[in-house]
Chains A and B, each alone.
Chain A
């Protein structure tokens, strides 16, 4: 049987789960996975919070995939920079894009470009040791009040890392460089701001419960105005959102009790507090006049919600009324964004700038036979790993559908041997990665951590 040569671009969950299904079901499949960095796993390594090690257990499965006989990891090869897309097209039967979302959405409001405004993506990448973000060093030592715009789970990760006692994080795989900055942090008040109401919160129940239970912190009681807004809808809610309301209301009761006791002289309130704010859209960030690295305040417009009925999606409208929060640092956590790969337009691969993803039908890129897309670059930057996984399996089924219905070119292709002379960087193999992995874990063990990540590409390559 002639081998079917498949190239996957990106080694995050989407790439690995797509590969796994293809290798499982196509006996003659040969899968080569190209990754821009020398290290695999995408956001499982560089996004998932250091205090969520159990989430990274998906990597056990990825290791199994990587050890399959017809799989090859080609790290340190960025498609579009170190190897052209055209080269992949010419040397493979099929190409699957699973390169995720490497940029972020913008608010497009004045002051967003100020040094005191960070993107959540950069901050997360910084504490997780993304090489190009290692030097970010947000001035946490100069900040007490923080605003996070957006209330997805990334916003909650950012809030938790800012509020947690750093000693709790010390024994995780958080970067030492980040730990050192977090230790000096003065942050004591974090506002997580949604543009719509509580019922439209983008975070999920486990993550909000976790933040509520973070030792040494207190959630400020949810303001009455936000409650009045959602109360009439409560009887009509579905289970997950009903539980969300219960979780937040219970936290409110607990905090009110704590405050009442403190007022009677029984115990004191935690010094670090945080709150959920709703129905506010940022209008402008103001720089501090004394310290150019930080802000002084954020101005918001108060929104109201428009919704036909409980089932239809609600949209927010500005009321003209404004509100301002004292702010030294702001984090924009309104979603990541994918980009088209260099050279894709020449191959006729479309890109929807508006939604920041490659248009597709169940993963098939229409009009470009043999090209598929999986994961965040397919769906836009949402979905937990479980969602990415199911979706990647579905994309693999689409490849199979085309294979079985003779829509794929199954002629003999050179594959890796064909592209090798054209690669401009030093490719990192799976065996090479295992050496880096071993070095990281043994350096980590010496510091009481599961892993001490290398934070520069040169350091990673120096092990080989």
Chain B
């Protein structure tokens, strides 16, 4: 629950764009550098990084146990754009993969095959600026991407993207696959 709170803080409604579906321009094309730094500012805030409330994260992480706590000073950053269009920036450790990271932070990403590159449920759409910094997907990953819904030119499987220094700041969007109805929408 605390994480959701952070996400609200971190995503001023002006930036809450409907997180995409199919084309890379829809996903990222319009997110200018300016907007991106706005996201960072919103996240960091003038009074320092709201993520200094790190205990919140560690609780969530300890619960799942798949990811590592970054060493102080070596934190890498990843921003998930949720299906609802919220932007969630996280501090993560080098070497952890995006599926484990998303699940450790209770984000809505499935990993039906447990991260063994045998399904396409952890499909993410990567910011084109970062896509090119990644190693090419191998044959196994391509085979699974071929089955992903709403495949884009910058689609990847979250379980296959390991955080590196080059990827610091990467943004990925979770494709909206299903409705997500809430009781309040019917009142």
Contacts and interface: CB of A to CB of B under 8 A. Distances in A.
Interface centre among B117, B120, B143 (most CB of A within 10 A): B143
Interface in A205-251: 205-206, 209, 239-240, 243
Given A206-B143, A390-B177, A397-B179, A54 B116 contact: yes
A240 B179 contact: no
A58 interface: yes
B174 to A, nearest CB: 13
A65 B114 CA distance: 15
Contacts of B180: 397
B139 A209 contact: yes
Contact of A57 (B114, B146, B147): B114
B114 A239 contact: no
B121 A205 contact: no
B71 interface: no
Interface string A36-76: 00000000000000001011011011000000000000000
Interface residues of B, number: 27
Interface stretch (A98-106, A370-378, A400-408, A430-438): A400-408
B118 A52 contact: yes
A390 B147 contact: no
A389 B110 contact: yes
B181 A205 contact: no
Contacts of B139: 209
A59 to B, nearest CB: 9
A412 interface: no
Interface string B173-187: 000011111010110
B137 to A, nearest CB: 12
Contacts, number: 70
Contact of A206 (B112, B121, B140, B181): B140
B56 interface: no
A384 B147 CA distance: 9
Contacts of B116: 54, 57
Contacts of B117: 54
Interface in A234-283: 239-240, 243
Q: Secondary structure at chain B's binding surface: helix, strand, loop or mixed?
A: loop
B178 A60 contact: no
Given A52-B118, A239-B151, A243-B146, A58 B113 contact: yes
A410 B44 CA distance: 46
Contacts of B114: 54, 57-58, 60
A404 B186 contact: yes
A386 interface: yes
Contacts of A397: 178-181
B100 to A, nearest CB: 14
A453 to B, nearest CB: 21
B134 interface: no
Contact of A404 (B118, B147, B149, B181): B181
A385 interface: yes
Interface string B127-146: 00000000000011011101
Interface residues of A, number: 26
Contacts of A389: 110, 112, 121
Contacts of A384: 119, 147
A19 to B, nearest CB: 14
Contacts of B144: 206
Nearest to B184: A404
A176 interface: no
A429 to B, nearest CB: 26
Interface string A379-406: 0000011100110011001001100110
Interface string B153-187: 00000000000000000000000011111010110
Interface string B53-80: 0000000000000000000000000000
A394 B142 CA distance: 26
A129 to B, nearest CB: 21
A57 to B, nearest CB: 3
A393 B177 contact: yes
Contacts of A54: 113-114, 116-118
A384 B140 CA distance: 16
A426 interface: no
B143 A209 contact: yes
A404 B140 contact: no
Contact of A401 (B119, B149, B181): B181
A204 interface: yes
Contact of B112 (A57, A240, A404, A405): A57
Nearest to A58: B112
A240 B146 contact: yes
A1 to B, nearest CB: 12
B113 A55 contact: yes
Contacts of B118: 52, 54-55, 57
Nearest to B179: A397
Interface centre among B120, B121, B151 (most CB of A within 10 A): B121
A405 B147 contact: no
Nearest to A56: B113
Given A206-B143, A389-B121, 18 more contacts: A54-B118, A57-B112, A57-B113, A57-B114, A57-B116, A61-B110, A206-B140, A206-B144, A209-B143, A386-B120, A389-B110, A389-B112, A390-B149, A390-B177, A397-B180, A397-B181, A401-B181, A404-B186
Interface of B: 110, 112-114, 116-121, 139-140, 142-144, 146-147, 149, 151, 177-181, 183, 185-186
25 contacts: A52-B118, A54-B113, A54-B114, A54-B117, A55-B119, A57-B113, A57-B116, A58-B114, A204-B143, A204-B147, A206-B140, A206-B143, A206-B144, A239-B151, A240-B146, A243-B146, A384-B147, A386-B119, A386-B120, A393-B177, A393-B178, A394-B179, A397-B179, A401-B179, A404-B181
5 smallest CB-CB distances across A and B, nearest first, come from A57-B114, A206-B143, A240-B146, A404-B186, A54-B116
